[in-house]
């Protein structure tokens, strides 16, 4: 079995952990314990300064914004630039995701805006809900499909689990 290194990027609160937890455990975490959440955010902040390093090690990238937060959609653009800069090539396995589609009434980013950005980047686009599990399995299946397509033999196959880095 191959190991897949997937990096999930996006600004705070867009649902990166909720999507990952939903995929891995099949459950949705509505509210974190504030203390645990605070601890968790600090970990992430520390990690952010190491972003170049984990982009370097990542093989597939899930770029997430919240479709109820226009700012998070703007935030995703420099993150994609950073991936291209670090990887030094354009066709990195990547997928653009608008999460929280269950909150349709509060939408700030239209489907068309997301789709247009993905077309500019030549990557697939999906709207998901970590809460309703909408398109969550499809999202991870698609990124794995892209990584398989892009895979060059590296000689380090043989491990057993998927590795998801938030």
| # residues contacting ligand GDP (CB under 6 A) | 18
Residue from 6, 9, 18, 139 binding ligand GDP (CB under 6 A): 18
CB atoms within 10 A of CB 147: 19
Check residue 80 for interaction with ligand GDP (CB under 6 A).
Answer: no
- If binding is defined by CB under 6 A, does position 10 make contact with ligand GDP? yes
Q: Does 103 bind ligand GDP (CB under 6 A)?
A: yes
Burial grade of 30 (CB within 10 A; 0-12, 13-18, 19 or more): exposed
Q: Which stretch binds ligand GDP (CB under 6 A): 6-14, 47-55, 107-115, 150-158?
A: 6-14
Residue 21 φ/ψ, nearest 5 degrees? -65, -40
- E strands, the chain, are 5-9, 60-66, 94-99, 125-128, 163-165
Indicate whether 17 belongs to the interface with ligand GDP (CB under 6 A): yes
Paired tokens of 36: 């645990």
Task: Provide the binding-site residues for ligand GDP, judged by CB under 6 A.
Answer: 10, 12-18, 29-31, 99-100, 102-103, 129-131
């Amino acid at each position: 079995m191959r190991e897949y290194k997937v990096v999930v990027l996006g600004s705070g609160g867009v649902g990166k952990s909720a999507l990952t937890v939903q995929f891995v455990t099949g459950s949705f975490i509505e509210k974190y314990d504030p203390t645990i959440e605070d601890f968790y955010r600090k970990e992430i902040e520390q990690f952010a300064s190491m972003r170049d390093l984990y982009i370097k090690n990542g093989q597939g990238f899930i770029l997430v914004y919240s479709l109820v937060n226009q700012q998070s959609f703007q935030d995703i653009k420099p993150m994609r630039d950073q991936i291209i800069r670090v990887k030094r090539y354009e066709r990195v396995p990547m997928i653009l995701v608008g999460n929280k589609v269950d909150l349709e009434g509060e939408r700030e980013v239209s489907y068309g805006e997301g789709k247009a950005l993905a077309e500019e980047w030549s990557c697939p686009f999906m709207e998901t809900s970590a809460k309703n599990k909408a398109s969550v399995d499809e999202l991870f299946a698609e990124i794995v499909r892209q990584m398989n397509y892009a895979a060059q033999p590296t000689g380090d196959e043989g491990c057993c689990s998927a590795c998801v880095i938030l």
